[in-house]
């Protein structure tokens, strides 16, 4: 399907790529707002062959220890992506003449095995050397770390140093050497803030918000999808009804339009809302069973959203708001200090369930 909208974010990122690297950029936003779709669209369709992209998606790995973290970065152990890399000449061929986008860092298997005999910095030094080779061959390297929250377990399980060393290395690539553009993607804004503080990133990182569509864009998206999927145009009332249930969440709008091929609109929307209300009900039931006093505080916090879609973060106790953000009930915009439900659908469930 043709890519829709996001001109502002696309132009912002392309503008950054025209300058020399100097900051780490966190691309963040609510769940399923289109962060990965956006960055993939840019690297696949908007970049010239002057760039060499190293794209690493941590979601494809279970990462609970250092070795798994390193395996996620390098390509040697990845099935169906590359043949076994035997020597450095093959690595040089991949990074100079190979595809514009590599899903990891190529490394000979024998070199890969050595990484576990030394310090983590040896892995970073190898990566640094690869990026230098890319630049020497007239290419502009870009490193993309998607779903960065997937390394949270290894970081919080006694290896906090790994996070600091990783991001200090990324600072070296950007602010110090101006060698490589770095983008980190996540919907976990709490973990991003943890990274920012633990990695000592003050004045070394910036944020790019990829939010759900605003109402005007969401209605245009509904028109776009109904034309491409249903081969017809929906009425203004139908579009308004869809937005009132699911807001500007791209994935939910797509789900609704696809289901319209064989179901009625009100039936589809009511089913989505009932399902979300059941999830919220069971979530609150578990909280109440665990701790009645904590449950009451959670409910009081959620009641604030009965009359407003956005609430100032400090209006909710820090422990409660972090709990609700971690459970993907609420989304925190740390730059603005604003909390809101992860979707309009969750917002509607909150208003009805409480």
Q: Strand, helix or coil at 56?
A: strand
SS3 per residue for 119-149:
CHHHHHHHHHHHHHHHHHCCCEEEEEEECHH
Per-residue pLDDT of the chain (354 residues; tens, 9 = 90+): 567 888 999 999 999 999 999 999 999 999 999 999 999 999 999 999 999 999 999 988 878 787 788 888 886 455 444 456 667 777 877 787 778 888 888 887 777 777 766 566 778 888 999 999 999 999 999 999 999 999 988 877 767 788 888 999 999 999 999 999 999 999 999 999 999 998 899 999 999 999 999 999 999 999 999 999 999 999 999 999 999 999 999 999 999 999 999 999 999 999 999 999 999 999 999 999 999 999 999 999 999 999 999 999 999 999 999 999 999 999 999 999 999 999 999 999 999 998
Which option is the CATH number for 7-209: 3.40.50.720, 2.40.10.10, 3.40.50.300, 3.30.9.10? 3.40.50.300
Domain ranges of the chain: 7-209
CA geometry: angle at 187 spanning 16 and 62, to 5°?
Answer: 110
State how beta strands 205-209 and 24-28 pair. Answer: parallel
Q: How many CB atoms lie within 10 A of CB 22?
A: 13
Closest CA to 186 of 331, 344, 343, 10: 331
């Amino acid at each position: 399907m043709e890519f829709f909208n996001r001109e502002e974010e696309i132009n912002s990122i392309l503008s950054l790529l025209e300058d020399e690297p100097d900051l780490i950029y966190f691309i963040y936003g609510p769940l399923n707002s289109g962060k990965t779709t956006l960055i993939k669209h840019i690297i696949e369709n908007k970049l010239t062959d002057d760039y060499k992209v190293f794209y690493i998606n941590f979601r494809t790995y279970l990462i609970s220890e250092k070795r798994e973290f390193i395996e996620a970065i390098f390509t040697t152990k990845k099935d169906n992506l590359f043949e076994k890399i035997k020597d450095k000449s093959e690595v040089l061929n991949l990074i100079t003449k190979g595809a514009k986008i590599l899903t990891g860092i190529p490394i000979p298997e024998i070199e890969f095995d050595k990484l576990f005999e030394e310090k983590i910095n040896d892995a970073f030094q190898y990566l640094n050397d690869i990026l230098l080779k890319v630049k020497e061959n007239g290419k502009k390297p870009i490193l993309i770390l998607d779903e960065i929250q997937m390394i949270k377990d290894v970081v919080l399980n006694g290896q906090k140093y790994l996070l600091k060393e990783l991001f200090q290395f990324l600072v070296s690539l950007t602010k110090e050497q101006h060698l490589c553009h770095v983008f980190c993607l996540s919907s976990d804004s709490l973990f991003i803030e943890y990274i920012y503080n633990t990695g000592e990133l003050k004045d070394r990182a910036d944020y790019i918000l990829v939010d759900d569509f605003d109402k005007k864009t969401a209605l245009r998206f509904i028109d776009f999808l109904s034309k491409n999927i249903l081969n017809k145009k929906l009425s203004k009332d139908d579009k308004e009804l869809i937005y009132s249930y699911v807001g500007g969440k791209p994935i939910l709008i797509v789900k609704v339009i696809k289901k319209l091929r064989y179901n009625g609109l009100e039936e589809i929307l009511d089913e989505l809302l009932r399902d979300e209300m059941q999830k919220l009900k069971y979530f609150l039931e578990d909280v109440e069973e665990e701790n009645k006093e904590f449950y009451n505080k959670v409910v009081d916090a959620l009641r604030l959203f009965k009359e407003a879609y956005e609430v100032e973060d400090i209006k909710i106790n820090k422990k409660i708001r972090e709990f609700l953000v971690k459970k993907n009930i609420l989304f925190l915009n740390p730059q603005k200090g604003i909390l809101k439900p992860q979707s309009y659908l969750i917002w509607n469930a909150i208003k009805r369930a409480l």
